[in-house]
Amino acid sequence: FLPHLIASLEQVDQTYIMVKPDGVQRGLVGEIISRFEKKGFKLTGLKLFQCSKELAEEHYKDLKQKSFFPKLIDYITSGPVVCMAWEGVGVVASARKLIGATDPLQAEPGTIRGDLAVQTGRNVVHGSDSPENGKREIALWFKEGEVCEWTPVQAPWLRE
């Protein structure tokens, strides 16, 4: 009874993961999805999407003052992206670890960027940096009804 109570108090978070246009063009969509799937997180939203300049600017609004901002917006809008919502305990920080450092040359081998990319401006994937931003970004990229609530059959085999 007590362990179940404690487990149920654990915070379940959501993170917004996006395969950027270079990842789509290079045929890395399956590989990137697979890393999160194998880790054991729950996919709750998935779509291929061509985003507008306005949406890209809203998503990256905290970086508006940075010199690379215009190039970043051009990059993110240069082709379709794959939008994903993932759910789980600790999913935000864990996804950032799976993704690796912003600069792919600094990212550890074994991470997505460490294994699959070489340049910061072509670093193949985005991941939210906090549970608050996870919620904000999922609400920004997905419409009502596009995120699914479901229970994977493997749930009891992933968490005691």
Whether residue 102 is annotated as binding a ligand: the answer is yes
d(C-alpha 72, C-alpha 76), whole Å: 6
Among the listed residues 35, 42, 59, 126, the single catalytic one is: 126
Which residue's CB comes closest to Mg ion?
129
Indicate the residue among 88 and 127 with the shorter CB distance to Mg ion. Answer: 127
- Number of Cβ within a 10 Å radius of residue 116: 20
Q: Is 16 exposed, middle or buried (0-12, 13-18, 19+ CB in 10 A)?
A: buried
As measured in angstroms, the least distance from the Cβ of 113 to ligand UDP is: 8
Largest pairwise CA distance in the chain: 54
Structure-token pair, residue 132: 């608050």
110 binds ligand UDP (CB under 6 A): no
Total of chain residues touching ligand UDP, rule CB under 6 A: 9
The residues, any chain, with a CB within 8 Å of residue 4's CB and separated by 6 or more, are none
Instruction: Say whether 96 counts as a known binding-site residue.
Output: yes
Q: Which of residues 57-86 bind ligand UDP (CB under 6 A)?
A: 63, 68, 72
Instruction: State which of residues 129, 135, 136, 140 lies at the interface with ligand UDP (CB under 6 A).
Output: 129
Q: Which residues in this chain contact Mg ion in the complex, by CB under 5 A?
A: 129
126 labelled catalytic: yes
At a CB cut-off of 8 Å and minimum separation 6, what does 40 contact?
A: 88, 154, 158
120 interacts with, out of Mg ion, ligand UDP, none, CB within 5 to 8 A per kind: ligand UDP
User: Can you tell me which of 81, 123, 134, 137 binds ligand UDP, judged by CB under 6 A?
Assistant: 123
- Please report which residue ranges of 117-154 form alpha helices under DSSP H: 131-141
Q: Residues in the site for ligand UDP, rule: CB under 6 A?
A: 63, 68, 72, 102, 120-121, 123, 126, 129
